[in-house]
A and B are shown apart, each in its own frame.
Chain A
Amino acid sequence: MTSGAVIELAGVTKVYGGAGPAGVRALRGINLRFRPGQYVSIEGPSGCGKTTLLNLLGLIDTPTEGEVRWDGVNVADGSERERARFRLRSIGFVFQRFYLLPTLTVRENVELPLRPLLRGRAERRARAVELLESVGLSARAGFYPSQLSGGEEQRVAIARALVNSPALLLADEPTGELDSDNAGKVLDLLEALHRERQTTLIVVTHNPEVARRARRHLTLRDGRVESDVREGETT
């Protein structure tokens, strides 16, 4: 687990489809710095580079140019294995479509990231149940994802994302597939966990309600940061 890290994007550019004229520049020279424990929303029109930015922050993708630094160390230039290990220990993901594994039970889904880290099955199970309790789903531990509602699935996904106590929690449209009632519950939960654990939370969203809860608001346009508003201060 990595806690309290300062995360930076330094001169990050991402080009898809090669560096030639046919290449699509999804991000153009992004420079951002996230302090530990920040709650950040990233907004912008479709195709502006929000998900690409999130993928680069989560080391799911690598920048064409620039660096992704954790406490000053570039973590994006490691091998796939090194980046996977870093993701496992330091980053949690919440996806729009939940992405629970349908063949595993709720508890097994939450346990999944613990498998490489904790050898003891009982220890893994206890940890998973603890997280399920924190999202109010311990009674559903033996259910399969297909037996849950969308809101419940997303809460399981949040439990899975937090089970390794990551320093950074990335959420890509976490309420995009939910009705307003469930969306509110999920946002309450994310906010509560963020406050309780002091995890850096970065949320990509189109939803103004989601963005409103964040303390820092990034807006992207055409692969560039159009605005960066924090606590009433604009940069």
Chain B
Amino acid sequence: MSERERRGGRKPGALPGILAVVAMAAAITLPVVLLSVGGGVSSHEIARLQASGYQIVVSGPGTAGIDLAHQRVGQIAAIPSVGAVSPTLTRPLDLRGPGGRWVPLLAEGIIPSAYYATLGSTASQVFSAPPNLGDPTDMIHYQNGSYAGPVSPDVLVNTTLAQADHLTVGDSVTLAPAANGSGAVTYTVTGTFNVVASLFSTSGNYGIYLPLSNLQVLTGLARTGPGPGGLLDAADSIHVGLTGTASTSPTQIARVVAALHALLPYYGVSTLSQEASQLEGAASILNGFYLVLSSVGLAIGFVFLTLVLVRRVEAERREIGIRRALGLPSRSIAATIVARAVLLGGAGALLGVASGIGTVTVLARVGSAPVQAASRLAVFSPVQLIALGVGALALAGVASAFAVRRALRLPLPEALR
């Protein structure tokens, strides 16, 4: 028998305890990452909706599902309480700048003055009033019927893209609906805009604005002619802003929605409050899903911690036996085990939270572009982090209960052998 064994049994080294802390930390890291990034993206989207300015969205089926976009502006604007109407069309294009390389991007076709009128206070600061895209009403080019009349070949590019491709105001760029450059048209950069994280999604980094009619022509979604069959004039959606108090009145919003339904019976009409509500619902469902997913990791951490604690009781059976033989109360033996569990669980929780925050920070720097963008939106809610810590401690408490039960049920004569 070794000297150590003679003096009180072989003790496990620090490794099992370290592994238990690491297991708990890994279990906590996952929900920290999922909840912070998921919650951040959801919050960002909801904030974006709330900051957008317009209150109602009309949408057609699929992409470019709305026809007669320019005409709809006047029809919808005639509805009482409607203050601004902006059809928009988003299409992928390729841009070739002075450097000669083709860059895939998203182009947003807008009617400059109508678009500006639907923006919220924050968004409106991004652009001049209205955005510098030639004819503010985008009607000269459109009214010609064949789109062959005076045109404003103007484009606004975001500052990130402008810097990457060394574009400045006055430069010529070529836009094409296909990567091979067929159907390309030369445009003039008339301005740049900053991509504000609270307003634009990650695609904002690859975005340009141009007149709606220009984009329709470029992508084959223009009105083909004044006669029958020439009804395309396509858009994806129409943003509708309300005037004054109507913008915050559920009754007034409902009234306008009803009028829009009557005017455009085949199109979807939704309000931002509905979208925000749906987004919040989706966010809470996702949070629940994240927690369920995380519970698998937590369960593994819990099992590992329990095994380590029980193993420790087995290794210390003689020491526990001595304490019990001396008549020390069960609660003092239990307190030692619970304290150890709380120490391991607490250390695991702290390490897990730190690891989660560190993981998100690293992802925000070295992940792929969408991962970086999403990670930068992460929100570390103190309430959630504290709840996770409390959860880890609760699991440690339950794990310690198994170990305590084991310790208090050790047959004393055997423990003292």
Interface set of A (CB-CB < 8 Å, partner B): 51-52, 55, 58, 60-61, 80-81, 84-89, 91, 93, 95, 97-102, 112-113, 115-116, 145-146, 160, 177
Contacts and interface: CB of A to CB of B under 8 A. Distances in A.
B322 A99 contact: yes
Most chain B beta carbons < 10 A, residue from A85, A89, A93: A93
B416 A84 contact: no
Which range contains the number of B residues in contact with the other chain? 10 to 19
Tell me what chain B mostly uses at the interface: helix, strand, loop, or mixed.
helix
B319 interface: yes
Most chain A beta carbons < 10 A, residue from B324, B325, B326, B330: B326
Given A60-B416, A95-B416, A146-B7, A101 B322 contact: yes
B8 A101 contact: yes
B316 to A, nearest CB: 10
Given A60-B412, A61-B413, 15 more contacts: A51-B413, A52-B413, A58-B325, A60-B325, A84-B327, A84-B328, A98-B7, A99-B8, A99-B322, A100-B7, A101-B8, A102-B8, A113-B327, A115-B332, A116-B328
29 contacts: A51-B413, A55-B412, A55-B413, A60-B325, A60-B412, A60-B413, A80-B408, A81-B329, A84-B329, A85-B327, A86-B327, A87-B326, A87-B327, A88-B327, A89-B327, A93-B325, A93-B326, A98-B7, A99-B8, A99-B322, A100-B7, A113-B327, A115-B328, A115-B332, A116-B327, A116-B329, A146-B7, A160-B326, A177-B6
Interface of B: 6-8, 318-319, 322-330, 332, 408, 412-413, 416
Contacts of A100: 7-8
B325 A97 contact: no
Most chain A beta carbons < 10 A, residue from B7, B332, B408: B7
A157 to B, nearest CB: 10
Contacts of B330: 80-81, 84
Nearest to A56: B413
Contact of B324 (A84, A98, A115, A160): A84
Contacts of B323: 101, 112
Contacts of A60: 325, 412-413, 416
A99 B321 CA distance: 10
Q: Which 10 A-B pairs have the closest CB atoms?
A: A88-B327, A87-B327, A99-B322, A60-B412, A84-B327, A113-B326, A102-B8, A61-B413, A102-B7, A55-B413
